[in-house]
Every structure is written in structure tokens, then in C-alpha cells.
Amino acid sequence: MGDGSVAVVTGAGSGIGRVVARALLGAGYRVALAGRREDALHETLADRPDGDPAALVVPTDVADEEAVRRLFAAVRDTWGRVDLLVNNAGTFGPSGSPDEVPVDGWRACVEVNLTGSFLCAREAFALMRAQRPQGGRIINNGSISAHTPRPGSAAYTATKHAITGLTKSLSLDGRPYGIACGQIDIGNAATEMTAGIATGARQADGSVRPEPTFDAALVGEAVLHMAGLPPQANVQFVTLMATTMPYVGRG
């Protein structure tokens, strides 16, 4: 794809979202960058010319239904369509054993990670269904926690397992309209948000050990591959992880 195709990337002001937004822009996409902090979104564009017509900065809290509506209305009004949504915005939420997790922290995590992804998918789906030519692609960031939890991560892990269900439902419901949906599950990409993992991460046996990481730019390459497939093909699920991270097997 590329060649002026229109993408929306949430959580584009840091981490994986920043990497993906830059990769899409570099590949010729027009990209709407969504995130809560406008200054951080502009930092993502630091290497781009001022007033870049291929970039649209839209400060957005994905847990806010009206804010999400404004995001996609801005994309429609600017470029007339949306070809790709990368549902990336997320929060780790509260940590601790289930009896220690505050209910308001649980709810806040669900609102961002799950409801936020649904709200963005809902708006993208409506545009993709109505536009001509019809169709598009949604890529959800599931995380390794869509498969296997870390200790003390009930809220985050539950939302990421739920993202898998959302991905499958979007794939099924999108078939009549040419809307594909896939999921990328990322383990230990090196970003500012995961810097602590390389120093020491709590393991299932209670120990704290450093874990390997990999260059986050590889996530951008993987998303470009998924996004660039022709309409008749879809990467349903892909797991991209540091080769020796304690995930496969018993650690």
C-alpha cells in the first residue's frame, strides 16, 4: 500500500505508536496521529517538514467517545477516507494481586485498552463501509499478554485477551465490506515504556531478572507488511518478540 493511502495511528506520541507512525509516513502513507498529548505527537514528526501535508495531528483520548468521533471526522474532512487503523493506544494499568487492584484503576484500564480500541474500530469501520472504493484494514496491538500474563497484571492481561476477541469479531463482521482485521502481539520491543524490562522484570517464580529486548523499528516493518497486503490476504495474528525472552516454555 502507501501511495497516499490514509492511516490513523493511536498512541502515536510515544513508544510503538511513534515507531509505526514514522514507518507509515516513510512508506508514503498519509497519517493521522492521535494521542492525548499534542506536544508528544509533534515530537513524533520532528524529522518531518513543518506543515507536512501527509501528517495530521489530532489530540485524542481514545476512551472519550466524542473525541474519537472528532478524530475520524477530521480524517474524513481532510482526506475523504481511511484505509488503515492501527489500534495501538494503551496503558499498563494497575499492578498487584487481584485483591490489591483498585476497581477504579481496573475500569480506567478497560476504558483505554478495550473500549478505546472498540470506539476507534467502530468509527473506522463506519467510514470504510461507506467509502468508495469500499473497505480497509484494522490492525490491533494485542501484546504478548493477549496470550500469557505477567505476574500482577490482571487488568492489562484481561483487556489484551479481549482485544483478541475484538480482532476476530471485526474480521468476521468486516467480510461483506472488504474490511480486514489483524493483530500484532509484541513482546519486549525496546521503547521508553519498556525500559524497565531490560533492567529487571518480575518472573512467575517471584524472582526479578532482566529480559532481552529487540529494536522497536522491527515492529514498524511488521505493520507495514501487514498493511501492505492486497485486499484478498490478511495476517490474522502475528507474534513478534525478542528471540530469547521467557515466553515459550517455562522461562
Amino acid, res. 59:
P
Distances (CA, A) of 202 to 126, 154, 239: 42, 14, 21
Beta strands in 11-164 (DSSP E): 30-35, 55-59, 84-87, 136-141
What is the predicted pLDDT for the residue at 151?
86
pLDDT bucket at 2, cuts 50 / 70 / 90: low
Cβ(93)–Cβ(63) below 8 Å: no
Band (pLDDT 50/70/90 cuts) for residue 209 is confident
pLDDT band for position 251 (50/70/90)?
A: low
**Over the chain, what is the mean pLDDT?**
94
Nearest to 2 by CA among 40, 41, 28: 28
The pLDDT of residue 1? 53
- Sign of the Cα torsion 250, 196, 138, 231 reads negative
∠ Cα 1 68 230 (to 5°) = 15
Three cell numbers at 91? Answer: 496503558
How many Cα atoms within 13 Å fall on the side-chain side of residue 66? 0
Mean pLDDT of 222-227: 98
Among 233, 243, 232, 226, residue whose Cα is nearest residue 87: 226
pLDDT above 90: percentage of residues in the chain: 82
All structural domains of the chain, each given as residue ranges with its CATH number in brackets, are: 6-198 (3.40.50.720)
* Residue 156: active-site member: yes
Which position among 29, 156, 177, 247 bears the catalytic label?
156
